[in-house]
Amino acid sequence: MTRIKVFLLITVFTLSLVQSPAFAQTSNTFDFVPQPAWVQYGNEHPLIGSFTLDKNVKIVGGDPFNVQYLQEHLHRVLDYSGDSWNPCSPGSIEFVRTKSFPEEGYAIEVAGRRILITSTTRAGEFYAIQTLLQMLPPQVYRKVSGPDAMLIRQWEIPALTIVDQPRFAWRGSMFDVSRTFFDKEYILRHLDWLAYHKINKFHWHLTDDNGWRVEIKKYPKLTSVGAWRGYGEALQPSFNSGKERYGGFYTQEDLKEIVAYAADRGIEIIPEVDLPGHSKALAVSYPEVVCRHEADVTSVQGEVHNVLCVGREKNYVMLENIIKELAAIFPSKYFHVGVEEVATESWKHCPDCQALMKKLGYTDEKQLLGYFTERMEKILAKYGKTLEGWEDIVVGENLSRNDLVLVWHRQDMLQKALDAGFPVVTQNCDYLYFDMKQTPAERGHSWASIIDVEKVYSFDPMQGLELKPGEEWKVKGLQGGLWTELLYFPAHFSEYQLFPRLCALAEVGWSPQELRNYADFDARMARTHFERMWNMGIQFRIPAPEVDRNGQVRCPYPNMVVRYTFDGSEPTISSPVVTGPVVTDHPENLRFATFFGDVKSMTVCVPGAQKYLTPAVHVETSLEANSRYPVENLEQYENDKYMRTARAPQKGDYVLFTFDEPLECHRITVQTADPKNNFYGITDGHVEVLFADSDRFGWNGGQDRFDMYNRVSFCPNRPVKAVKIVVDGPGEGKPVSIQHLIIE
């Protein structure tokens, strides 16, 4: 066994953020995120100096909500107890409205005893407050009162002037609550986080194949049936929701509360009801809405019968009733009706759809997509709404060019939508799909790209476009997209996927292109913004430490620490910090993670130290294998070789790994699911072991059920003859993938 020393290459100072340090220092410059358009420190009159904020500060003018919001945040940091501080000349924050600012623009002037905030709209005023909060200690974001609160008597803000406005009018975040359900409280916190980053659109993906999430009073089965999945439910388990009943929905009262909460914070919520594909949850609730045929047409996601029948006139009545209820709740001008990844093949087999095609003289089912979209446009118009849809709506020749196209492919598709005459928003999958992995080893998808924060930051929505002069406004802006297939586990993974990538997006959307500089952004994040997010309660992503083959460890940021364990367990907040040389005979058991307070990176090992065994094994199964992914693949210990079944597993199915010789090892990990996308694992099953000194399969303790990564890991205490995966139920009712054993 190699004997290595583990030591830290860079100096790390430990800043314990759980017990946050007392703060009293004044910054001379501020780490704004997003960077304002124009900031000038100092004052032309040298005698007019910094502003002293204390509990006597007077707030003059201002929108009532904005003032209350500001006060509530000030209360989190200012000490209101004890004697008056400087009662003679209290400072003031004065809000003034003038006509001269662009929508959402504002100016802040800090000089002597006054902070003057000017804007034209209440949104501009709100963003000025966001900028002002970033001049205060990061604890201003911390929702703590009482003894734990960190209170200051005064805080100095240097003289400065800021004149600011956003680059793009549309700075959004799309969030899918169908695949994974997030409750009202989570959505409200999420909206807070968006507002802190000057994000002004929340595109709420409310329905999809895997769950209908909004109460519709006229169609109660949409939520009594369509909001739930599990054994015995109309919707099968999916995306690791397991065999228990899983789901949830928002009542109309919840929706109204959320909409109002967002509006107060300058955020417009655009609801999306994904039609006419992605409609399995609707179809299981009211089966008459899908086409009349038995053909096995599957969508990209492998769903059958998830396409609404466009030839069934009663569907439009139902959709109008749904839209009528939702249009009354969501004040947004736009209403998103989906229109993407529709298995139009379904319409080929349906007598009603075919009859409609004949009547309209259509020759291609794709034309029906245009027809459907145009029908939806007319229904929406009755309720004062403008249609928004994914890029596929561009096929609708007769659509109004006021409709908004949300492009999820690349810039050429954005150009195509612009050329067709539509205004556009980009959610470019190469840069803005936050369900993509951030590095190859992390959880997430990778079909579009690996997207780290720097890649998000590098994006410019205008890149590669050819626009006529004066038509730049047609690119309204951008939004990040978080699809939630892989977010059910682990806890807080949505936050890990969103932040800090959303901080980068915020700056792309807000700051002038010529001011953008990734190194500068990263430095602002490191110095201050991570700490702000920690106070916001976000479990954001921080990079893992870099560990090389010699055990040299590099902490990614100076105000973070690397913690480690010796025994192969996950480092925790109480694990020791790497501060100097560590000597070990078992580098394979070292685990490292970066910590910022209690926020933890993914865990890494010493590369190459892991010794994997590849003993000769014979694998047999009761499950028929897909011929491209045969069971013999599992005998080869190659990561891209796995087995895929040709049918869904049933109770009693098994996969049996028998070793040629009794196997002595430290740990065996049984992995199921597709290694590329983490889908299609065994969710209802367990693992049994046959020891060399026994004649019966059994279990010797530990975890034998599949975890949320569709995996079982155990440490056998004596030689092993065989390992068996035993299926206990149909799980998600789809074919599954099995990977080779990992033996340490």
Instruction: Indicate the residue among 451 and 599 with the shorter CB distance to ligand ACM.
Output: 451
User: Exactly one of 278, 305, 445, 740 is catalytic; which is it?
Assistant: 278
In whole angstroms, give the CA distance from residue 485 to residue 447. Answer: 14
Identified catalytic residue from 63, 104, 109, 208: 208
Site string for Zn ion, 261-300 (x = CB under 5 A): ------------------------------x---------
- Nearest approach, Cβ of residue 390 and ligand ACM (Å): 5
Q: Is 341 a catalytic residue?
A: yes
Catalytic-residue membership of 514: no
CB of 312 to Zn ion, least distance (A): 6
**Closest by CA position to 611, among listed 638, 634, 586, 636:** 586
311 binds, among Zn ion, ligand ACM, none (CB under 5 to 8 A by kind): Zn ion
The entry of ligand ACM, Zn ion, none near residue 341 (CB within 5 to 8 angstroms by kind) is ligand ACM
Closest distance to Zn ion from the beta carbon of 304 (Å)? 14
Residue placing its CB nearer to ligand ACM in the complex, 341 or 442: 341
Which lies closer to ligand ACM via its Cβ, residue 234 or residue 395? 395
Q: Which residues pair with 270 in a beta bridge?
A: 203
Residue choice 242, 311, 338, 444 for contact with Zn ion (CB under 5 A): 311
In this structure, how many other beta carbons lie within 10 angstroms of the beta carbon of residue 603?
A: 17
Q: Give CA separation, 674 vs 399, 626, 641, in Å.
A: 41, 13, 10
Report the candidate in 115, 132, 136 with the shortest Cα–Cα distance to residue 43: 115
**Alpha carbon distance 278, 301 (integer Å):** 9
Tell me which of ligand ACM, Zn ion, none is bound by residue 408, counting a contact when its beta carbon lies within the kind-specific cut-off of 5 to 8 angstroms.
ligand ACM
Residues 350, 547, 590, 609: which binds Zn ion (CB under 5 A)? 350
Which of these ranges, 349-357, 400-408, 553-561, 638-646, lies near Zn ion under the rule CB under 5 A?
A: 349-357
Q: Are 534 and 559 in contact (CB under 8 A)?
A: no
User: What is the length of the chain?
Assistant: 744
CA distance 60 to 95: 6
- Which whole-number Å values give the CA distances from 346 to 175, 205, 315, 318, 426, in the listed order? 28, 23, 16, 20, 29
Residue 387, contacted partner among ligand ACM, Zn ion, none, CB below 5-8 A by kind: none
Dihedrals phi, psi of 275, to nearest 5 degrees: -135, 165
Point out which residues pair with 5 in neighbouring strands. Answer: 583
Packing angle, helices 122-133 and 184-196, rounded to 10: 80
Which residues are CB-contacts of 2 (< 8 A; sequence separation ≥ 6)? Answer: 587, 609
**Closer to Zn ion at the Cβ: 180 or 299?**
299
Describe the crossing of helices 366-382 and 351-360 by its angle, rounded to 10 degrees.
Answer: 80
Chain residues binding ligand ACM by CB under 6 A are 340-341, 390, 408
Partner whose footprint covers residue 488, from Zn ion, ligand ACM, none (CB < 5 to 8 Å by kind): none
Q: How far is the CB of 424 from ligand ACM (least distance, A)?
A: 14
User: Does the footprint of Zn ion cover residue 322 (CB under 5 A)?
Assistant: no
* Nearest to 396, CA basis, from 362, 425, 427, 434: 362
Cα 36 versus chain centre, distance:
25
Spell out the alpha helix ranges (H) of 516-655. Answer: 518-524, 530-536
The label of the residue with tokens 């009354």 reads 328
Least separation in angstroms between residue 305's CB and ligand ACM is: 19
Is 688 labeled as catalytic in the residue annotation? no
In this complex, which beta carbon is closest to ligand ACM, that of residue 482 or of residue 508? 482
C-beta of 487: minimal distance to ligand ACM in Å? Answer: 15
Contact segment (CB under 5 A) with Zn ion among 348-356, 479-487, 661-669, 682-690 equals 348-356
Q: Which amino acid is at 643?
A: M
What is the nearest approach in angstroms of ligand ACM to the Cβ of residue 175?
A: 13
Give residues in contact with Zn ion (CB under 5 A): 291, 309, 311, 350, 352-353
Write out the catalytic residue numbers: 208, 278, 341
